[in-house]
Structure 1
Amino acid sequence: MATPLGERAFAEHVKSKLDATFQKINDGAPGVSGLAKFTKAWMYGREFLFPRDIRTQERKEFDQEAFKETFEILGKSKQLWRVIETFTQDLRRQLPLIDEEVLEFMRQYQETEDVTIIRRMIMRVAEWWKAWAPVPELGSPIMTAFNMEFQTHFFSILPPTFPSAFKALCASTLGQPADPEMWQTFETLGLLDRYENLVASVCYEQIEARVQETCVGEWSQPMLSQLRSWMADDIVQWMIMPYARAARNPEETRSMLHGVGSRFDFHVCKTLCDLRTTEIFDIIVDFPDSMPALIDLKECLQRVDQRSELVSTLRSLYDHLLIELLANRKRLLHPGADTKDILHQYVSMIRCLRVIDPPGVLLHKVADPVRRYLRERPDTIRSIVSSLVGEGGDLVDENEPIQPLHVQVEDYSDPNWEPEAIDAGPEFRTNKPSDVISTLVSIYDSKDLFVKELQVLLAQRLLAITDGNFDKERRNIEILKIRFGEAALQVCEVMLRDMTDSRRIDQHVQSQKPCLMHPTIISKHFWPPLQTGKLQMPGQYKEILETYSKEFTAFKQDKKLRYLPQLGTLDLTIELTDRTLDVHVPPLEAAVIELFSTKDEWILDDLSKELNVDSSAVRQALDTWVDYGVVSEDKLHHFVLLETSESGSAAGPSRPAAPRTDKSLKEFVGKPAVVENEAAPVMSAQQQEAEQMRVYWKFIEGMLTNLGTLPLDRIQTMLRFAPGYSRSIEQLGVFMEAARREGLVVNTNGLWKLSK
């Protein structure tokens, strides 16, 4: 409880404050004249600022001198803040006046979706704003307070449908004459700040629509430059209103648009990059016609850095889709698919990704699944090698410079050295070949397999040449020397020299003693293993072989011929009672029909013993003569010679039948190459590897017997203790697959075990 002394002190304090306030308001005027002026000014100022109802009240004209004097008085008395506070309270009471009109406009819009209704609504709200806004002479504090109150209330009454309506209004101005008044009104009411993202989204959606409309499936011409030209002509002109209205000259316009223009250009690149990423598979298929699309994608990736998305898309596609020439992995990446098709797509991918990313980081990330799969296919090496010697379609680009196989290594002393891409893995530099062939060869750990397959393929091609023209193969060898080196192609040089020497030797033998046979004479130790057999040629064939051998030994006394009678082809003239046939057959077929010249009837087993050949092979040879109508099977495994043609049974003579003198073959011309035999004369590199790996089958069988199921890498580790074992795990995998096909082992989830 206050004491009397305290009450007096409090009263004195209040009195002093009132006196001070009075003196401030009265401004030292006599009596209360100053207070009267202040009161008049207060009432005038409040009436001047009061938010009127523009529907029923017209704005009053105020005396400018009186306005100036009024606010000078309020300012001197330091009561202007109270005027602002009172104005704010009056404004809050009047703001609901706009609610009814705003809601009515929105109702009309929802019924018609006519964006002009939204424009009229905004312009009407701007009329309220202009009627209630304080004059600028009152300073920024009162204007800031007014804007905050007005905009807060305006935004609070807008329904949820307004943002989409406002966006539609902005979008409707694209391609139309500029409307500065509308855009200025947007800024006045704070709409541009509040809905900045909506305004920007109008441009984003226009860009996306333009890309979809003009760029989908269009890869034959660069589209990024066209999109940027369209942006400059259409979108940039529209952007001036929302983003550069205040510019006074072109320089200021460019300066104001620089930031937002960069954002929209980024979106152009991102949208086009997204599209090309989804189309990348078809773009690869269409290469090189799709080169412009790849160049666009390269530039877009540099701008938006979506390399990881491209890698993810490609890996997913190569896991699930690899074509319609690359349809899907279930169709292409399976043993029934043509390895050349897979290689063609892989090569296209190499070339395309080299365009997009010359250092090869993207290729390194994407290609791994395809490379692993190709490494497991037994015919991949042969397909690649075939392309190297001109049999593999378009795997090798004729315009691509021929260069040695090599892998780039880091040279930090190179003045043009650049660091690796930020997304390059730690193993990237260890294996980054520079050209397509090097990339294909790098699928395997060593190029030795390719060299062996090259030797096999060259041997087959040389043996198939009958006209003595080896120029093409000589040219191939020179090209391969550049790629693989001189040492790797020495054996091929020997094979080529053997072919030319063989013709020279044969010409010499024929000059000494003409012979029907023209053999191909090769050096056993420099050629890949040839298919061997135990065929014993009968009758006149045997005599011809022996005669030729004697003449050869007389010419080359330090050499001896060892015939491979199961290889080669023969031209025969078969004379029968009513017909003569000219045929071109392998040696086994010729040997079989020669035996029929000694007697007319043969049993299959007797022929097999006579020729020292498996009965199934002899049966196939007999089927050939059955087809020609020369022999027939009158009962099971019993064959007879048809001196006279059975009606409709012969395939038809090659010339009219001549009188038959005896049942001997009148002509025999040996051909040096096997071109029609089902089995190739030269064992492939895989066959050679398989034959060599059979030595280690007992080791593998013992492991699986004692240890049960084993993964491939464990088998590889244990085989390293076997004498002379030096195969890679890929070679072991090929051998195990061959063993599985033969039913020796089974593979379950990567684990190998013996078949039961």
Structure 2
Amino acid sequence: MYPRDLSEYSQLGTRSSRDVKPALDVVAQCKMLTVLLDDFVEDMRQQQHLITRDIEHFMEQYEATSDPQYIAKMVLRLVEWYKAWLPPADLGATVYSTYTLHFQTHVFSVLPPSFTRGFKSLLNLTFNLVHMASAPEWMLTLVPSTQPPPSRVDLPLWAAFDKLGLLDRYESLVSSVCYEYIEAHILQTCTGKWDEPMLANIRLWMADNIVPWMIMPYARGARSADEARTMLQGVGSRLDFHVCKTLSELRTREIFDIIIDYPDSSSALQDLRECLQRVDQRTQLVQTLRRANNKRLLHPGADTKDILTQYVSIIRCLRIVDPPGVLLYKVADPIRRYLRDRPDTIRCIVASLVGDGESGDSLVDDNEPIQPLQQQQEEDYSDPNWEPEPIDAGPEFRTNKPSDIISTLVSIYDSKELFVKELQVLLAQRLLAITDGSYEKERRNIEILKIRFGEAALQVCEVMLRDMTDSKRIDTHIQAQKNSPLHATIISKHFWPPLQSSKFSMPGQLKELRENYAKEFHLFKPDKKLVWLPHLGTLKIDIELDDRTVSAEVPPLEAAFIELFSQKDIWTVQELIEQVGKVDRPAVLKALGTWIDLGVLKEDRHDQYRLLNTAEDGDSTSKAVARPAMVVDEEPPVTAVQQQQAEQMRVFWKFIEGMLRNLGTLSLDRIQSMLKFAPGYDRNIEQLGAFMEAARREGLVTVKDGMWKLQR
């Protein structure tokens, strides 16, 4: 039993068990096996330098070449040492286990750190060795020529790994090989591919490529397919978990672009939903999407319409991933707060509701049914279908939240009154822009909005629509009595949103046309009077000059100025302003610039303009040169809701100023509670806070520790 060098074994040959057994029986009868084992272990310790010598030799070769074949040869050499020193089996299991423990302990103690890298390279190499034809030549030499080739050429290696205890000691390393192959395959095949389900394909790939390799380290001793399946069940579950984890992490990194690509990316969202049911990556998904939104969406450079479009896509996508809506609740909160602070959010939502073609793609899916706005309700615990809130839901989360997109968008604000007012403003602008008298589209929009907001909220809109049809009927009657080139739109003052006001007078024939039209209207409606808004509308005019005729379609102010040039050829800016009334100087210069661009006027010197009866280029052969109508960029004729609110808050400022003057410093809550007694006050505390902050910037008030004080 003395451990000798392997070369000595080849010279001495092997002893017959018949020769050794009688001696072992004598030792056993004398109860000296323990003493024999202690001597043997001591002899092993003295001869371990032989094993160390071989290990150092092979590791030097590997470190010089990084070739895993030297790791394989070293492992098989160590098995030879193990078998050469192995005590006879007759000594029993205790001796066998003691020997194995001491042998493996020494081997593990002398293996250098580079062995881990080499062993992993060798495991990676065996991944492709399902068939012998794929093995390198040096591995074929590892199979003894006296034995028939095994079905797997790497079988001797796995047997050697098991014999030396390498599979138990480096279990995590063996698993990492599978994990890395899975990760590499998922990144290569699934990155950016969102139009088809990938999870099922990955599992099929694992069955064809990973499972055959797993038989060696995890089910090598199986005697049947069912036994192998049972042995692989545990590790297979761990690998499937890693598949879901890797795919979930990939889709989480891509989630912002996946949402942009929706609905073409629906398959990727379904995969993500299935993965999140196995792995706990919900928090990472929320954090990643919130960071991406803050970086790529919630900043001043992003258009409000784009933010709303992305928000709607987030709603639809996260409802696929998480139907209860916990993820949506956590992701949407920053977006909703950001949209609430944007002044044009309501206008964009309303424009989508009424099908504003200029706003781009509609936020509303045409396939979604039209339904009333859903309000958040208290939970009904008596409902047999009631379910508790998810475990990761926040304290303010409610499962019975609005389900349709429009209700979700409207719920950004505390009240739908703001939307109704914006609807009235937008509808007024659209009605005033119609020139062909066709109001069917707007009538259909109103009927749809009645379903969403209710009959009462849309009564004013119905009045506006009726005003337009009545206006067309009145104009037809007036034209029948006295044909006029003027066609007026007549609306009810008290039912329309405030219109942009301007006080200038139309001169000459333009003024005469309006007066004649007003007389005919008074004859038709004796109890009513027309109040003209001179800055609204357009005029198609022909300007007859000495050598040409210029045609243009311009706003009334520009027509008024060119009308004055029929009286004399040269005017200064100040003279023009005195003739038409209260007009801002920038508006005058803009109007005159239109006629300069058309070649009708010329600026002789600063603030003095002259009519060009003859074109300066000298080409007067054409007596009627038609100029195309100019596209005039006008401000909306209807005052925006934000502007209306600002005007109203200026009225309430008198109340606030009186409070602060009489009571001293007040908190915002106290100001809000006192303002509720003011007639017509309907603002919330957030809107009041924004107004007070604007007053502070203007130097009207100061604030300290939340207390507001009038600036003296």
Asked whether the 8 Å contact 1:405–1:483 carries over to 2, the reply is yes
SS for the counterpart of 2:36 is helix
- Provide Cα deviations, 1:415-463, integer angstroms capped at 9, x if missing partner: 4443322221011118833233222222222221111111111111111
Distance change (3 Å), C-alpha of 1:138 and 1:682: same
Q: Which of 364, 372, 379 is 1:396 aligned to?
A: 364
Which residue number corresponds to residue 685 of structure 1? Answer: 641
Distance change (3 Å), C-alpha of 1:610 and 1:298: same
Identity %: 61
Which residue number corresponds to residue 624 of structure 1? Answer: 594
Asked whether the 8 Å contact 2:420–2:457 carries over to 1, the reply is yes
Check if 1:533 corresponds to 2:502. Answer: yes
Which residue number corresponds to residue 133 of structure 2? Answer: none
Distance in 2 of aligned mates of 1:367 and 1:750: 29
Which residue number corresponds to residue 499 of structure 1? Answer: 468
Check if 1:182 corresponds to 2:157. Answer: yes
Which residue number corresponds to residue 138 of structure 1? Answer: 91
Distance in 1 of aligned mates of 2:220 and 2:492: 89
* Residue segments in structure 2 that go unaligned for 5+ positions in a row: 131-151
SS for the counterpart of 1:168 is helix
Distance change (3 Å), C-alpha of 1:158 and 1:645: closer
Distance change (3 Å), C-alpha of 1:516 and 1:431: farther
Moved more, 739-748 or 423-432: 739-748
Distance in 2 of aligned mates of 1:699 and 1:513: 52
Which residue number corresponds to residue 55 of structure 1? Answer: 7
Which residue number corresponds to residue 168 of structure 1? Answer: 121
Q: Which of 253, 257, 277 is 1:278 aligned to?
A: 253
Which residue number corresponds to residue 483 of structure 2? Answer: 514
Asked whether the 8 Å contact 1:364–1:428 carries over to 2, the reply is yes
Distance in 2 of aligned mates of 1:743 and 1:197: 68
Moved more, 171-180 or 429-438: 429-438
- Provide Cα deviations, 1:699-749, integer angstroms capped at 9, x if missing partner: 666889999999xxx546524423244312443465467668989789999
Distance change (3 Å), C-alpha of 1:533 and 1:502: same
Asked whether the 8 Å contact 1:581–1:653 carries over to 2, the reply is no
* Residues paired across the two proteins, number: 677
Instruction: Give 2:113's aligned amino acid.
Output: P
Which residue number corresponds to residue 731 of structure 1? Answer: 687
Distance change (3 Å), C-alpha of 1:702 and 1:406: same
Asked whether the 8 Å contact 2:372–2:452 carries over to 1, the reply is yes
Which residue number corresponds to residue 347 of structure 1? Answer: 312
**Offset, 1:686:** 0.9
Which residue number corresponds to residue 594 of structure 1? Answer: 563
Asked whether the 8 Å contact 2:484–2:513 carries over to 1, the reply is yes
- Provide Cα deviations, 1:269-288, integer angstroms capped at 9, x if missing partner: 11122222222222223333
Which residue number corresponds to residue 5 of structure 1? Answer: none
Asked whether the 8 Å contact 2:547–2:623 carries over to 1, the reply is no
Distance in 1 of aligned mates of 2:616 and 2:664: 61
Check if 1:459 corresponds to 2:436. Answer: no
Which residue number corresponds to residue 429 of structure 1? Answer: 398
Moved more, 452-461 or 606-615: 606-615
TM-score, normalisation: structure 1: 0.82
Asked whether the 8 Å contact 1:269–1:303 carries over to 2, the reply is yes
Which residue number corresponds to residue 141 of structure 2? Answer: none
**Offset, 1:516:** 2.2
**Offset, 1:467:** 0.7
Distance in 2 of aligned mates of 1:621 and 1:738: 33
Moved more, 68-77 or 224-233: 68-77
Distance change (3 Å), C-alpha of 1:587 and 1:733: farther
Distance in 1 of aligned mates of 2:400 and 2:653: 33
Q: Which of 396, 406, 410 is 2:374 aligned to?
A: 406
SS for the counterpart of 2:368 is coil
Distance in 1 of aligned mates of 2:602 and 2:631: 27
Asked whether the 8 Å contact 1:243–1:257 carries over to 2, the reply is yes
Which residue number corresponds to residue 368 of structure 1? Answer: 333
Check if 1:358 corresponds to 2:323. Answer: yes
Distance in 2 of aligned mates of 1:312 and 1:364: 13
Distance change (3 Å), C-alpha of 1:738 and 1:271: same
SS for the counterpart of 1:449 is helix
Which residue number corresponds to residue 267 of structure 2? Answer: 292
**How do 1:5-24 residues align onto structure 2 when only pairs under 5 Å count?**
none
Moved more, 255-264 or 716-725: 716-725
Check if 1:559 corresponds to 2:559. Answer: no
TM-score, normalisation: structure 2: 0.87
Which residue number corresponds to residue 30 of structure 1? Answer: none
Asked whether the 8 Å contact 1:376–1:733 carries over to 2, the reply is no
Q: Which of 205, 213, 216 is 1:241 aligned to?
A: 216
Q: Which of 169, 175, 178 is 1:194 aligned to?
A: 169
Which residue number corresponds to residue 137 of structure 2? Answer: none
**How do 1:26-65 residues align onto structure 2 when only pairs under 5 Å count?**
49-57=1-9, 58-64=12-18
Distance in 2 of aligned mates of 1:455 and 1:362: 35
**Offset, 1:601:** 4.3
Asked whether the 8 Å contact 2:668–2:708 carries over to 1, the reply is no
**Offset, 1:407:** 4.2
Larger radius of gyration: 1
SS for the counterpart of 1:571 is strand
- Provide Cα deviations, 1:131-178, integer angstroms capped at 9, x if missing partner: 222344432211121111111111111112111111111111002133
Distance in 1 of aligned mates of 2:562 and 2:618: 21
Asked whether the 8 Å contact 1:315–1:366 carries over to 2, the reply is yes
Check if 1:571 corresponds to 2:540. Answer: yes
When the two chains are superposed, the root-mean-square deviation of aligned CA atoms in Å is 3.3
Moved more, 279-288 or 617-626: 617-626
Moved more, 50-59 or 275-284: 50-59
Q: Which of 63, 69, 75 is 1:116 aligned to?
A: 69
SS for the counterpart of 1:402 is coil
Q: Which of 177, 180, 190 is 1:215 aligned to?
A: 190
SS for the counterpart of 1:221 is coil
